[in-house]
Amino acid sequence: MMSLLLRRTLLGIVVAVLAVCAAGVLAPAARADGDPGSDVLVYQNLFVAADANISIPQQVELGDLLTSADQAGFPIRVAVISQAADLGAITALWRKPAAYADFLGTELSLAYAQRLLIVMPSGFGFNWQGHSASAAYQVLDRLHIGPGGTGLATAAQTAVRALAQASGIRLAAPASGSVAGSADGGTAVGTTTQGTQSGGQRAATSAPSGSQVPLIAGIALAALIMATAGCLLAFRARLRLPKPPKLPKLFARSARQAPERRRLHIPGTWLAGGFVGVAVLLIAVHAVIQPSNSAAQGNVAQTSALQSNPNLDPGLTLSRVAPGFTLTDQFGQPVSLSSFRGKVVILAFNDAECTTICPLTTTALVDAKGMLGAAASQVQLVGVDANPKATEVEDVLSYSQLHGMTYQWQYLTGSLAQLQNVWKAYSVGVTISQSQTDHEPAIFVINQQGRLAKLYLTQLAYSAVGQLGQLLADEVSSLLPSHPAVHSHLSYATISGISPAADATLPSADGGYVSLGPGQPGQGSPRLYLFFATWDQEITTLGGQLDTLNAYQSAAAAAGLPGLTAIDEGGIEPSASALPGFLASLQRPLSYPVAIDGSGQAADGYGVQGVPWFVLTSADGKVLWSREVSVSGWPSTAALDKDVRAALARAAKPSS
């Protein structure tokens, strides 16, 4: 018959094996269902998809608020779900924020069991493992969620503050300068989806998150208790061992020479407990180490995505001294590159009158600096004019003002000869053809010692601007001694554009929504669009031209021609207030809708190569005609009418 000791020992081994198997099953549970939110919120406090149409300043402000809440003793994590695709494989929970909150709370419970807030266009969801959510929903039910990404971000901030206040905690407003620019060059933006100005972590970092610190402490304490208990039990067992019998004197001498070895008898229960303790320790260590392994896997995935993304240049590594120069900034003051020694410099060659790729570059520069939080003070943004026909100080000042960068960077110009020397030193080609200036959209990263570290070329993809900013921020972080966290976790995977053949909606400038696309199959109609940005005012009378298009809208309705929809490229506007302020300055309201393309996906999908840009689409979503205003000029009402009619007539002809 099996002894009691053996049975208990085997029982301990079985329990230990089952516990280790449970660790293997439970650890990846948060990723097995393909839910992006659970992947991200295991490590950080905010999940926002890259195409959620939430501006980088808003994401940084929300991330800062969550950090403030955590520091105030009100830990909370937020998932902003703007569309069904944000739910990965569990799209059945779209427009069901309460159900998703319960699902996600359970998914995260192994690593995070504090407050969890879900924000969807249809409402809020709340979960706090082991606590009732009724009080939270009483607070959330009184709040409003506005349209679009801006509405979701604003609602998230409002909800966090309201929930904190209901718990007796008043959260301070963001520090001045953390989101808005300042005269000392403080940046106006940061990013996406996670982000805090201090203490934030990216999914790619391997340091334990705040929720893992108590776990590590618990493991150490448990190990200490187990060791102490084992020693104590062993000592007590030894004390209870029977004393050896007293030997006759005849054998006393030999007994001293070969004393009997005492055997330590440990009960099977202790052995079983020991096996279980080891199993528990393995589970805990696995839970701590796994996020680091997942982060390493995430880095590999990011690298692969970057290499395969045609809209992002992964960068060329350089290693030589950056050529020096002295030019004049937008304030008319002489500035030398060497004066920035000790800082990381992001140097861009930028056309002061460009309406195509340069605004994408400068937006990415500002984004990159904002993503670095407090470490932004160790970064200097520098632009060099790359337009031989616009070399005056007023040219670089005008560009800086219209793009909200007056105090964000040093935009340098000089005589044509001075500029040509700099272009040549950095191998930047600048040409003029058909009255258009073309140049290589080069961005150089220069280290603190004045050596070139990386070269990037901006690609003409509106949806990739935030990704480019993150790429630059990552490079800068690698050069700074402290390797500061980059407050963004955008994927480098290609972001698909919105096809003209697909129906879609964009936020409207008046607070509603604007529909894009041909409409129902067989019932669609041609559409006319105008893509623009408020900074087009630098090279054209934008306000007057938009007012003139009111006449086309009236004539088109009477003649049965496609109506006009204007689309503002909100992702590369200097601020969220730029468009409302511009529209308010017009002499009369526009008679056609104005949509906001915050993600740039509409511009990419419709083939926009610069703004202003007209696009005419057919009833089945094919591009029939386009016009780049910076090349061909603004059409008169009659000319636009003629071009639209001609394009529709060509499309109506049967193909030969």
pLDDT digits (tens, 9 = 90+) for 351-394: 999 999 999 999 999 999 999 999 999 999 999 999 999 999 99
Question: In the predicted model, is pLDDT for residue 33 greater than 50?
Answer: no
Q: What is the pLDDT of residues 225-276, one digit of tens each?
A: 655 655 555 555 554 545 555 544 444 444 445 455 555 555 555 555 665 5
Q: How far apart are CA 95 and CA 602, in angstroms?
A: 24
Residue 521: both structure tokens together: 């199959």
Band of the pLDDT at 210, cuts 50, 70, 90? Answer: very low
Q: What is the percent of the chain with per-residue pLDDT over 90, rounded to a whole number?
A: 57
Is pLDDT at 185 greater than 50 in this prediction? no
CB 196 within 8 A of CB 66: yes
Mean pLDDT across the stretch 491-508? Answer: 93
pLDDT at 184 over 50: no
Least confident of 2-16, 80-94, 187-201, 513-527: 187-201
Q: For residue 428, what is the enclosing H or E element?
A: none
Q: What is the pLDDT of residue 408?
A: 96
pLDDT at 534: 97
Share of the chain above pLDDT 70, in %: 75
According to the model, what pLDDT value does residue 592 have?
A: 98
Model pLDDT, residue 486: 93
Strands ordered across the beta sheet of 115-120: 46-48, 76-80, 115-120, 123-128
Whether 78 and 62 have beta carbons less than 8 Å apart is answered as: yes
Residues 582 and 586: their CA atoms lie apart, in Å, by 7
pLDDT tens, residue by residue, 435-461: 678 899 999 999 999 999 999 999 999
The 3-state DSSP class for residue 442 equals: strand
Secondary structure (DSSP) of 69-133 = HHHTT--EEEEE--SGGGGTT-GGGTT-HHHHHHHHHHHHTTT--SEEEEEETTEEEEEETTS--
φ/ψ of 77, rounded to 5, equals -115, 150
8 neighbors 269 (Cβ within 8 angstroms): yes
The CA distance from 481 to 648, in Å, is 60
d(CA 412, CA 394): 11
pLDDT tens by residue, 274-308: 655 665 565 555 555 544 554 555 688 889 999 99
- Taking alpha carbons only, the member of 159, 202, 141, 183 closest to residue 66 is 159
Residue 591 and residue 506: Cα distance in Å, rounded? 18
Average predicted confidence (pLDDT) for the chain: 82
Q: Strand, helix or coil at 394?
A: helix
* Domains, in order of start, for the chain: 33-204 (3.10.310), 215-258+266-308 (no CATH), 316-479 (3.40.30.10), 504-652 (3.40.30.10)
pTM listed for this prediction: 0.64
pLDDT value of residue 43: 77
pLDDT of residue 246: 53
pLDDT at position 177 is 36
- Provide the phi-psi class of 508: left if phi over 0, else alpha when psi is between -120 and 50, else beta: beta
What the block records as the tokens of 127 is 């979960």
Average pLDDT on 6-28 reads 50
Largest pairwise CA distance in the chain: 131
Which residue type occupies 556? A
Task: Say if residues 197 and 187 touch (Cβ distance below 8 Å).
Answer: no
Distance CA 333, CA 596 (A): 37
> Does residue 521 contact residue 618 with C-beta atoms inside 8 Å?
no
Which residues have C-beta within 8 Å of that of residue 178, sequence separation ≥ 6? 60, 61, 64, 197
Rounded Cα distance, 591 and 578, in Å: 20
Is residue 224 very low, low, confident or very high in pLDDT (cuts 50, 70, 90)? Answer: low
Query: Residue 315 CA to chain centroid, in angstroms?
Result: 20
For β-strands 594-596 and 613-617, DSSP reports them as unpaired
CA distance 21 to 106: 20
pLDDT digits 0-9 by tens, 599-641: 999 999 999 999 999 999 999 999 999 999 999 999 999 999 9
Give 524's pLDDT tier (boundaries 50, 70, 90): confident
Is residue 60 very low, low, confident or very high in pLDDT (cuts 50, 70, 90)? Answer: confident
Q: Are 183 and 193 in contact (CB under 8 A)?
A: no
- Determine the pLDDT at residue 621: 94
Residues whose CB is less than 8 angstroms from the CB of residue 545 and which lie 6 or more positions away in sequence, other chains included: 612, 634
DSSP state of 345: E
- Tens-digit pLDDT profile for residues 386-437: 999 999 999 999 999 999 999 999 999 999 999 999 999 999 999 887 667 8
**Integer Cα distance of 322 and 455 in angstroms:** 12
DSSP β-bridge partners for residue 602: none
